[in-house]
Every structure is written in structure tokens, then in C-alpha cells.
Structure 1
Amino acid sequence: MDTNQTPVVTTDALTKTYGDRVAVDRVSMTVQRGEVYGFLGPNGAGKTTTLRMLLGLIRPTAGMASILGRPAGRPHPDLRVGALIEGPGFHPYLSGRDNLRTVARFRGFTDAEVDRVLERVDLAGRGSDKYKGYSLGMKQRLGVAAALMGDPELIVLDEPTNGLDPAGMADMRALVVDLARGGQTVLLSSHLLAEVQEICDRVGVINSGRLLLESTVAEMRGGSSLRVRATPEPAALAVAMRLAGDDGVRRTPAGLSLDLSADAAPHVTRELVNAGIDVHEITHTERSLEEVFFEMTTATTPEKEPVA
């Protein structure tokens, strides 16, 4: 990822209201070129509304947004952006391939491009089947195929793994990573935290229409720790505080938590044993993205959800 270039997506105090409801509240975010950016939030948090404003599908109430250096929402014939928002919409009685041909003709692409994107999402063998007979996961993949037409610089995907089985989800994750490795930028919204943790470079967390945090996945999860179960606990606590510092040790129902890396485990064990303390368990732990996410969003969830 090259962060020295102009950001692909920038918003500044982007806001959308519906009457007295605030769907998106002064969101300022930045997506860098070549990264996979995860836009996270519970249902109704404002993710889709934000993406729709970026793509010019709805007008913001206030604030600004730009895509690839151009004002968002204005027509630019040379702007290379592909998107799948709120699920795909295709003609049920046309085949998957013919649906994509319709899109391709409208956007000036050839049938060869249709075949390329069908292959990319593993639908080449089912391209002749009617869309109405597709499973939910196949419909989702066809929507992603349409977004990939023309090899766009920016690909915006709204919940791209909806309806996919575990194997399909793994394939979609691999596709997203491959797109970023090829230099394309992917902005995806999701509420599946394990999936985002695996593939995203940076994340933005939105709740109640407000952007709570924007950082790398590693920064959001914080450092690792050692969990120690040892007796007698008061003596173990004294040793732990000597090794990790007074502020680096916390008592938890599972034992003592030390702000130390996995490499420190042998030394901690030796020090405890040398002090005559019985060590029952010592485990290296890392907070998952899901844990951090729920800590943040639970504390800020309103009584009424805003418009999605």
C-alpha cells in the first residue's frame, strides 16, 4: 500500500439527515490508494447511507466528499469506480451472462470483459443459467462481477459476503486481497468482524451515524498480553507488577493479565516459580477486532437506530 499519494476517498463532515433523523453525522474519513478499507458498524449505523453519498446515489445534507480527486456525485466519464450497493439487481429471466452483457453495453465494455469477470468470481460455468435460478450467494457474486468490469481503480462493496456459504466467503476474501495486491483500492462495508480482521489494512467504525474511530486493524486491537493463573495470587500479583509495571497488570476473572508479549512467557514463568508460586496456566492472548468493536458500539448505541 502506498500512502504517499493522494487519497482515493476523502470525506469532510459528511452529513445526511431525513427530517429530524441524523443518518450520517459529520463523518470525515480517508481511504488510501491500494488498501482494503473496512467500513464497520451495526445494522442501521449509517454505512450504506455514507457509501450511497460517495457514489452520488443520494445527495448529502452537508459536508463534502471526493473520489479519485474529483467531487463525489458528479458525472466523470473517465472515473474508474465499480460498486455493489445493497445487493445486486438483475433481470430474473435473463442468464447471468446476458445480464452482465446488458451492463457491459451500457458502460461500453465488450463480451470478452463479461467473460473475464465471470471467471474472476467463479461463475463462468453457470453464466448460461437464468438469474432467477441462482442461489443468494451466486446472485451476490454476479453483482461483484458487475462491479469489477473495466478493472476499476476503486471498488466499493456493501456487505459483499451476504448469502455466501463458508467456502464462498473464503473465496470472496481471497478475491478482495488479490484485488488490493494488484493495486486496486477496495472499500467494503461489513458487520462480520472476523472477516474484516483477516483482510483489511485499515478500518473505520461508525455507529449512530458518527465515525468513532479510524485506524489500522493492529492499532485498533491494541497490544498483546499474557494471562496468568497462579497461586497464591497476592504473591503472583507482586511478581507480575515487578515485571510488567504497576499499570501493566490487571486482575480479571480468568487470572492476571500482563501487558507483555508472548516472548516474555518463559521469563515470567521462571520468576514466578523462583518465588515459590504455583503456575497453573500462562497464555498469550490478543483482543479480537470483534471484542474491540462491541466495546465501542455497545457504549454508544442509541435508544433509536437512525436510518440505515
Structure 2
Amino acid sequence: MTELMVQTDGLTKRYGSGDHRRLAVDSVSMTVRRGEVYGFLGPNGAGKTTTLRMMLGLVRPTAGSVSVLGRPAGRPEVTARVGALVEGPGFYPFLTGRDNLLVMARYRGLPERVVDAALERVDLADRGDDRFKSYSLGMKQRLGVASALMGDPNLIVLDEPTNGLDPAGMADMRALIVALARGGQTVLLSSHLLAEVQEICDRVGVIDNGRLLRESTVADLRGSASLRLRAEPVDRALAVAMRVAGDDGVRVLGDELVLELPATAAPGLVRDLVAARVDVHEVASRERTLEEVFFEMTTTHRNDETEEALR
């Protein structure tokens, strides 16, 4: 059985009191498994950061429970095995990057040698003796990640780790996260960059308005590939497409027909179209991106909530 690094059950957080109560997280039940990169996705204000802070023991839930490494979140023995960067790095501006990490290492009871190793992993070894206030946004973010990596924690929680990084830095950060998971560590990653999540995450959880809409592997969430067809006359092409893919397996999208068929079905489809005297302009296999699925899910969810509120 796969070991669960994080498990939440009906996790809920409300802020305020009386008529001014706001539901930030609404009965979220999710799991993060050992050795995976888990992407936690949602629009701004969806409840991602509040959920992460409850996982780290920084915010007390209103209801529900959260366990980390098999124990209640926030316990000292749990915190010692978790590294985190949430809501941006916060360091002493007049200390150097290395000295800031030394402060963190001493506070956590770690040997000083972990500092240089962490700086090396995030490509800050040559800037470690510069003051934090002189760092660019991307360098500050790297230092925050370095702090989270010190001590080789079992679970690493990263909230927008590529924020402020240039394209090369983003690629390096993605490679680092994948390497961490391959080395047996678990990474819980919150990000707005869905192409990035699609590339490196094993599973994802999608949250909107405090509710967990879906938890699945990236492949299952994106679904199977489809064939995009442009042909004329459209009515004759549609009749052939429905005969091949079934009535429910064809959608009209602008001037295209979308068939729920794998790429291997393309040659047979083209033969049938030509036999029916249909002019085929283009046939292409296409997979939905995670970004398309994400916007489809969150838009549908918000439309459903609006309809429910108007009833």
C-alpha cells in the first residue's frame, strides 16, 4: 500500500464571525503520496494557501482534520521533517543569503554544512555572500527554496516556487523538483503555471472557491486524444464522422469536427471520407492541455454556483 504523506478529511476553514463569516476552505479531502510531485491548482483566492498553511500547522482548521507523515499537522516531530516555502520568502534584509540560511539552520538544529549544499542546489553558491536586500525577486525565491531543502525533509511544500524566475531559472527549478521526487522526497507544489504542472506533476488537485473539484493523475484529467477534422461539405463529413465515432463521439467546434478517436483511427477515417466524396483539408491528433481542462472545470463550477444562487 502506498504511504500517504498528507491526508486531509473534510478540512474546513472559516474566517470572521456572525454575518461576516467567510468560508475559505470547504470540506477538502485530499491525499499526497510518498515520492510524487503533487500539483495543487486553483485561481487566486481559491483557498490554496490557506489549505497549505493548515497542512503546516500555521492555521488551525475550523473543522475536519489533516495529518502529515501519519501524525497531526504542526507537531514538532512532523515540522522537523517538512520543508516549506509559502507566500514568498521572508529573510533579514541586511544579512547575506548564507547568513540567513545559517540562522534558519541553527534554529532547526541542523549542521552548518547544509547551508552551502542548499545554496549549491539552487545555483546561489556564488551569490551567497551578498546581502538579501540586493537580491532580485528570482534570487529571493531561490533562497526560499534553499531554506525549504535544508536537512533533506521528507515532504517539501512549495507555493509558487518559480515566481520571479527567468525561463532558464524556471527550467532549472522544474529539473530540481523532479530530481527531489526521484530521490524519494515528496513535493507538494502550488503553481499558476499549468504547463509547468503538466510537465512535472504526477497527480493534481483542483480547488475553486474553497472546494476540491477533482483529484486525479494528470493523464486521467486531460483525457484521451481526439482527432480534429476540417473537411467539406461539412454535412457529409459530419455524417461519416458520426458513423465512424458514434453519435456521441463527434462535436462541432467552429469549422472543425472533433472526434473522440485515437490517432491510429485517422487513416481509416480519411479513406471513408474520400469514399464519400468529401474533400479533406486537415486531420490532426490533439490532446487537451491541462490549462484547457482547468479552465473548463473552474468555469463550469462557477456557472453552476451562480445558477444555484439565482434559484
Secondary structure at the aligned position of 2:14 is classed as strand
The answer to whether structure 1 residue 5 and structure 2 residue 16 are counterparts is no
Residue pairs, 1:29-178, within 5 angstroms: 29-76=30-77, 79-178=80-179
Distance 1:223 1:254 in 2: 22
Secondary structure of residue in 1 paired with 2:4: coil
- Given the alignment of the two structures, is residue 185 of structure 1 paired with residue 182 of structure 2, yes or no? no
Partner of 2:271: 270
Residue aligned with 1:76, SS: helix
Q: What does 1:217-296 align with in structure 2 at a 5 Å threshold?
A: 217-296=218-297
* Distance of aligned partners of 1:58 and 1:75 in 2 relative to their CA distance in 1, 3 Å threshold: same
CA distance in 2, matches of 1:144, 1:79: 16
CA contact (8 A) 2:53 2:59 kept: yes
Kindly indicate whether the alpha-carbon contact (under 8 Å) linking 2:80 and 2:108 is maintained by their aligned counterparts in 1: no
Q: Give the CA deviation at 1:254.
A: 3.3
Distance 1:251 1:211, change over 3 A: same
| Cα distance in 2 for residues equivalent to 1:246 and 1:183 | 47
Q: Which amino acid aligns with 2:13?
A: K
Please list the CA deviations of residues 36-73 of structure 1 after superposition, one character each: whole Å capped at 9, or x if unmatched: 00000011000000000010001000100000101112
SS, match of residue 34 in structure 1: coil
Residues 125 and 286 of structure 1: is their aligned pair in 2 closer, same or farther, counting only changes over 3 Å?
same
Which structure shows the bigger proportion of residues in helix conformation? 2
Change (3 A) 1:101 1:68: same
Partners in 2 of 1:230 and 1:288 — Cα distance?
24
Find the counterpart in structure 1 of residue 309 from structure 2.
none
How many pairs does the alignment contain? Answer: 300
Distance 2:239 2:211 in 1: 42
Q: Which residue identity does 1:49 align to in structure 2?
A: T
**What residue is the counterpart of 1:25 in the other structure?**
26
Are residue 216 (structure 1) and residue 217 (structure 2) matched? yes
In the TM superposition, what is the alpha-carbon distance from 1:6 to its structure 2 partner?
Answer: 2.4
More displaced stretch, 44-53 vs 261-270 = 261-270
Higher RCO (CA 8 Å, separation ≥ 6 residues): 1
Give 3-state SS (helix, strand or coil) of 2:77's partner.
coil
Q: What SS does the aligned partner of 1:250 have?
A: strand
Mark the CA change 1:119 to 1:237 in structure 2 (over 3 Å): closer, same or farther: same
Structure 1 stretches of 5 or more lacking a match?
304-308
Cα offset, 1:269, TM superposition:
1.3
Task: Calculate the TM-score normalised by the size of structure 2.
Answer: 0.94
The CA deviation at 1:77 is 6.4
77 and 158 in structure 1: CA distance in 2 versus 1, 3 angstrom threshold: closer
Find out whether 1:14 has 2:11 as its counterpart: yes
Match of 1:298 in 2: 299
Identity of aligned residues (%): 72
Contact 1:208 1:300 in 2 (8 A): no
- Larger deviation: 109-118 or 62-71? 109-118
- Contact 1:153–1:185 at 8 Å: present in 2 too? yes
The CA RMSD over aligned residues, in Å, is: 1.3
Gaps of 5+ in 2: 307-311
**1:42 and 1:268, CA in 2 relative to 1: closer, same or farther beyond 3 A?**
same
The 2-side partners of 1:287 and 1:172 are apart by 25
2:3 alignment partner AA: T
- Residue in 2 that maps onto 1:306: none
- Structure 2 CA distance for partners of 1:218 and 1:131, relative to 1, 3 Å: same
